[in-house]
Amino acid sequence: MISYKKAETAEELQGALQVRQLVFTKEQGIEAAADLDIHDAYATHFIALKGKKIIGTARVYLEGGNAHIGRLVVLKDERKQGVGTKLMEMAIDYANKKGAKSAISSCQVRKYQFYKELGYEKAGNEYSQVGIPHQKMKRKLGDK
């Protein structure tokens, strides 16, 4: 059974960062230094657990009245069963409750449809980030 929660302990945060490293660095070849950043220290991190094993994560932090939701990953073997969607919904719900005006995410272009289904719209042009085509996406909040 898969459960979901906020990362509340140093161990859970470390576990979330390890899952990011497995996906972004090992699977996608993105340098670890490009993944970890200053926002990790104060962001709220959500995790998906299968038993005690962390299988996915996403983070959210508020800035200038908007919620920045990102660093979404699910381990390869655990995809396509709704885990990524549930993590995004939790982050969106959290941002709504915090009174954020919008959720802003930077998505890999090939995942555009996934974000669209979560209520996001394109905000600006495509750009390259860590060598991967990205698209800034925005979702209005205050509707939940």
- Chain residues in the site for ligand COA (CB under 6 A): 23, 72-74, 79-85, 107-108, 111, 113-114, 117
φ and ψ of 51, to 5 deg: 65, -120
CB 137 → ligand COA: shortest distance, Å? Answer: 9
Q: In this complex, which beta carbon is closest to ligand COA, that of residue 13 or of residue 73?
A: 73
Q: In this complex, which beta carbon is closest to ligand COA, that of residue 111 or of residue 136?
A: 111
> Helix (H, G, I), strand (E, B), or coil: what is residue 135?
strand
Helices (H), the chain: 10-20, 32-35, 83-97, 112-117
Task: List beta partners, residue 51.
Answer: none
CB 88 → ligand COA: shortest distance, Å? Answer: 8
Which sign does the torsion angle of CA 99, 116, 81, 133 carry?
negative
Which residue, judged by CB position, is nearest to ligand COA in the bound state?
A: 84
CB 70 → ligand COA: shortest distance, Å? Answer: 8
